[in-house]
Structure 1
Amino acid sequence: MHILMVTTSHDQLGDTGHKTGFWLEELAAPYYVFVDDGYKVTLASPKGGQPPLDPKSDDADSQTEDTQRFKSDSKAQGELANTYPLAGINAADYDALFYPGGHGPLWDLVIDPDSIRLIQDFLKAGKPVAAVCHGPCVLLNAVDDKGQSVVDGKEVTGFTNAEEAAVGLTEVVPFLLEDALKAKGGDFLCGGDWDDFVVTDGLLITGQNPQSSASTARAVLAKLSKLTNWPGQGAG
């Protein structure tokens, strides 16, 4: 079984002059949920190569066992430095699609045509698509065969308006994810601020925030276990 993880290539936090990118915990925790259960993982991004890391996600306060493990893992670091460009990725080669968040995706992945193509191809093929925190923004411009938003009528979650306000970026981000998912017809559910909260509706799996990263990945394994006979531990 083979999982594609897609990170942002965008590193500018609006007009603030500060850097953004992908959130380390949201990549590291799912990565190890997958590889420790025997899954192959490929990392990709719009531009390929080394994606930008949100520097705040590398602060001491943001460190976890998974982030520390990832930073000291030479194999993982080599894969991160050489992500595959999305333009060359074929959905047929993978069994599930996973998007870590960070604020970067709000600027690039939300409108990236290759990302949108992949999401649509995965869903059409009956394969799970998962995203955590700001990652669910990638779903906003994907549509089904009838031209309807893939989140229309679906239960979804993501970084909430309250959480965005708590980090002081309500006026910086190009849109509020909670509002945008609702505007596309999504039935937005959430826990309290910083709660571990995951929603699965059909092939869509979404997590609310960094605290939900590992749980979102485990929900992917649970979904795959229902779709396949894969005997991995996480498929039990």
Structure 2
Amino acid sequence: MSMLTPSGMGGKYRITGNAYPRMRRPRRRGRIVAGVLASVVVLGLFGWGALQLFHVFNGGDGDTKANAGPQNQPSCKPAPTPAHPVKLAPMPQPAGVTVNVLNATTRGGLAKSTADELAKRGFKVSKFGNAPTQYDKKVTQTALVVAGPAGEAAAREAGTQVAGATVKIDPARKDASVDLLIGDSFSALATPADAAKARIVAANPPPPKPVCTVPTTPAAKPKG
């Protein structure tokens, strides 16, 4: 047996050449792949757990939000349409409005100064003075315009001169004159430019807004 014959081969095989063959262990590829997959799973579980902790500490609850969203949306119904809609009469020019300026506040001199300014703007001022007992010191807004059905359009025209004024129609009133009652919130008449803008809105009032209700969601019970 030659010295180059490895032990245990019984001399059946002879190694020739100037170098010995390298005897390596078989590569364990299966273990490497399994290790990589295990690492990926562990990292994924770690990331999922961190995300859940983030939601807990920030008060997040995916299921609660998903279920509560649609419940909290407002429910809107169209505004009711009158059975007999009333067509508004065209608004007259200031020269076609007869107005009575009445002071319903405790401040003196408002009726006269306001009446003089309205006269300059073209309105027909019939009289000025203190408001009657039923309105005296009872008008909290800037102004209240009172007229009968025949003076509805004239009342809207007079109301454009005071920002925030409201119109009240008295069915028992027969003439077309208008009472402009000065209220506690009154400071001055609207500027001519603002009155012109208000006249456009009064001549073309917007349609009634839909009635919307928002359901209330019961408070969530604390987790214990």
TM-score range, shorter chain: under 0.3
Larger radius of gyration: 2
TM-score between the two structures when normalised by the length of structure 2: 0.26
TM-score between the two structures when normalised by the length of structure 1: 0.25
* Structure number having the greater helix percentage: 1
